[in-house]
C-alpha cells in the first residue's frame, strides 16, 4: 500500500513537470461554426470582407491581408483599463514579427468618434514601432462592432463604464484564408507566448511540404 | 526495490515540496498593501514593474521625474491626476493621467509610500498623517 502511494506521488510529479506534447503538433484548430456538406466537404468559418482606414489614412481591406497571417485586437486610445496591457503584449508580438512580411497586426478602435486618423497616428508613433506592419484601424462604428463579433471579441459602448466602452482582451489569430485559428487573452503574457508559438505552427502549415 | 531504498529516493522530493509550499506562501505575505494597491490601480498603465509603455505612459522605475518629485507633489498627482506636459528621462509625455479620488486615505498613503520606496529613492516610510496633510496643498485644476 505504501509503495503504491509513493509511486503515485512520484508519477504525479512527472505529470506536473511534463509537457503535453500532443498539443504542440499538427495543424491548429479551425474555430467558429464550420459547416460539413452532404458530400462530406467542410466549409470553414471565415472572416468576411472588410474595409477600414489606418493611421496613415490608407485603406486597409481583406485584400491588404490576402496571403498574410494576421492578429487582431480591439481597443481605444483613451482607455484606462486593460488596453495598455494589451498593447504591451501586442508589442511583444510586433517585436518578434515586425520585419516579417508574412504577418500583420490589426488593432481596431472601438471609439472612432474620438480616435481619428490623427489620434491613432500619434498613438502608434508613441509606441516606437519598427515597421508599418502594425495597423491601427478606424471607421464606421457599427461596422467595427460587427467585425469584433466576427473575431470573437465583445466590444460596444457602455454608459456604465467609467470610460464609456467595454471590450474583451481577445487577440484573434487569422490565417491566410481568413479562417480563425486561435484566440488568446491579450492581457496574459503566458497566453501571448502561446500565440507566438501558434504563429510559428501556422507559418509551418504554409511551408512547402517536404517530399 | 525495497521500501528502504525507495524512501531514500523519496525524501529529497518531500523536502523540495515543503520548500516550494513555504516559498509560495512567504512570497504572498511579503507583498505589501501599497504594492497590492499599485497592482490594482496603477499597473494597468505603468505596468507591473513601473516600466511604463514607450511614449504612451511614462516609467516610474529609474525615472528622473519621479525621483525629483516632493512628497506633496507625488501625493497630489496620485490623488488628483496630472494634465501637464512632463518630461521624463528626456522624453515628453502629454497624455493626461487620471486621479484616484476613490482611494481611502489609508490606501493612498500606503500607495505613496510604496511608489517612493520602490522607485522614488526614499529609504524610509513617511507617516500616514504627514502624507495626508500634504493633500491640503494640492492645486486642483
pLDDT band at B8 (very low <50, low <70, confident <90, very high): confident
Residue A3, sorted as left (phi over 0), alpha (psi -120 to 50) or beta, turns out to be alpha
Question: What average pLDDT does the segment B81-108 reach?
Answer: 95
Supply the pTM of this predicted model.
0.80
User: Is there a contact between B13 and A82 if contact means CB atoms under 8 Å apart?
Assistant: no
A12: its cell numbers? 504525479
Question: Does the pLDDT at position B89 exceed 80?
Answer: yes
pLDDT over 70 (residue B50) = yes
Averaged pLDDT, B24-30? 60
Selecting from A6, A13, A126 the residue whose C-beta is nearest the C-beta of B56 gives A126
Which residue's C-alpha cell is 461596422? A143
Which burial class, exposed, middle or buried, applies to B30 when counting CB atoms under 10 A from its CB (0-12, 13-18, 19+)?
exposed
**A81 falls in which pLDDT band (50, 70, 90)?**
confident
Instruction: Give per-residue burial for B109-130: e unless 16+ CB within 10 Å, then b.
Output: bbbbbbbbbbbbebeebbeeee
pLDDT of B15 reads: 85
Report residue A80's pLDDT band, with 50, 70 and 90 as the boundaries: confident
Place of cell 494634465: B83
Which B-chain residues 6-25 have CB contacts (< 8 A) with chain A?
Answer: 6-7, 10, 13
Lowest mean pLDDT among A1-15, B40-54, B58-72: A1-15
If you average pLDDT over residues A16-40, what whole number do you get?
73
Per-position DSSP letters for A133-158, written without gaps between them: TEEEEB--HHHHHHHHHHTT--EEE-
Q: What is the pLDDT of residue A89?
A: 96
C-beta of residue A61 within 8 angstroms of C-beta of residue A51: yes
Whether complex ipTM tops 0.90: no
Nearest-CA distance from B45 to chain A in Å? 6
Contact A91 B54 (CB under 8 A): yes
Position A23 scores a pLDDT of 56
Kindly report the average pLDDT of chain B as a whole number: 90
**Higher pLDDT residue, B28 or B114?**
B114
Q: Is A152 left (phi over 0), alpha (psi -120 to 50) or beta?
A: left
Max Cα distance, chain B (Å): 78
Average pLDDT over residues A169-198: 97
pLDDT of residue B30: 58
User: Residue A209 has what DSSP assignment?
Assistant: P
Q: Please compute Rg for chain A using Cα positions.
A: 20
- Chain A residue numbers with beta carbons less than 8 Å from the beta carbon of B10 are 6, 9-10
Tell me: pLDDT of B134 over 60: yes
* The predicted structure's pLDDT at residue A197: 97
What is the spatial distance between Cα A82 and Cα A73, in angstroms, rounded to a whole number? 12
Cα A134 to the chain's mean position, in Å? 12
Contact B10 A13 (CB under 8 A): no
Residue A28's closest CA among A186, A184, A160? A184
- Assess whether pLDDT exceeds 80 at residue B140: no
pLDDT of B18 over the 90 cut: no
Query: Locate cell 503535453: which residue?
Result: A20
- Please name which of A193, A171, A170, A198 lies closest in space to residue A28, comparing C-alpha atoms: A198
Q: Are B92 and B85 in contact (CB under 8 A)?
A: yes
Amino acid at each position: 500500500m505504501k509503495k503504491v502511494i509513493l509511486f503515485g506521488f512520484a508519477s504525479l510529479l512527472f505529470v506536473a513537470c511534463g509537457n503535453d506534447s500532443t498539443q504542440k503538433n499538427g495543424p491548429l484548430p479551425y474555430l467558429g461554426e464550420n459547416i460539413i456538406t452532404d458530400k462530406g466537404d467542410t466549409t470553414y468559418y471565415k472572416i468576411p470582407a472588410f474595409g477600414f482606414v489606418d493611421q496613415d489614412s490608407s485603406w486597409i481591406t481583406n485584400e491588404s491581408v490576402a496571403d498574410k497571417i494576421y492578429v487582431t485586437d480591439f481597443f481605444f486610445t483613451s482607455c484606462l483599463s486593460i488596453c495598455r496591457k494589451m498593447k504591451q503584449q501586442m508589442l511583444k508580438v510586433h517585436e518578434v514579427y515586425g520585419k516579417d512580411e508574412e504577418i500583420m497586426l490589426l488593432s481596431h478602435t472601438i471609439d472612432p468618434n474620438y480616435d481619428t486618423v490623427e489620434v491613432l497616428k500619434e498613438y502608434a508613433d508613441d509606441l516606437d514601432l519598427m515597421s508599418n506592419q502594425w495597423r491601427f484601424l478606424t471607421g464606421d462604428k457599427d461596422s467595427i462592432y460587427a467585425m469584433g463579433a466576427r473575431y470573437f471579441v465583445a466590444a460596444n459602448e457602455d454608459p456604465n463604464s467609467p470610460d464609456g466602452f467595454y471590450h474583451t482582451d481577445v487577440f484573434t489569430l487569422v490565417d491566410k484564408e481568413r479562417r480563425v485559428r486561435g484566440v488568446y487573452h491579450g492581457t496574459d503574457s503566458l497566453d501571448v507566448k502561446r500565440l507566438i508559438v501558434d504563429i510559428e505552427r501556422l507559418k509551418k502549415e504554409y511551408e512547402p511540404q517536404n517530399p | 526495490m525495497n521500501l528502504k531504498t525507495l524512501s531514500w529516493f523519496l525524501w529529497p522530493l518531500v523536502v523540495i515540496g515543503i520548500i516550494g509550499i513555504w516559498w509560495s506562501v512567504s512570497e504572498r505575505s511579503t507583498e505589501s498593501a501599497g504594492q497590492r494597491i499599485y497592482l490594482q490601480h496603477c499597473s494597468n498603465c505603468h505596468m507591473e514593474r513601473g516600466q511604463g509603455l514607450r511614449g504612451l505612459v511614462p516609467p516610474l522605475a529609474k525615472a528622473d521625474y519621479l525621483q525629483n518629485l516632493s512628497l506633496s507633489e507625488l501625493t497630489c498627482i496620485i490623488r488628483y491626476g496630472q494634465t501637464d506636459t512632463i518630461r521624463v528621462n528626456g522624453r515628453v509625455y502629454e497624455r493626461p493621467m487620471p486621479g484616484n479620488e476613490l482611494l481611502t486615505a489609508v490606501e493612498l498613503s500606503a500607495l505613496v509610500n510604496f511608489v517612493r520606496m520602490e522607485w522614488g529613492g526614499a529609504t524610509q516610510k513617511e507617516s500616514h498623517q504627514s502624507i495626508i496633510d500634504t493633500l491640503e496643498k494640492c492645486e486642483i485644476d
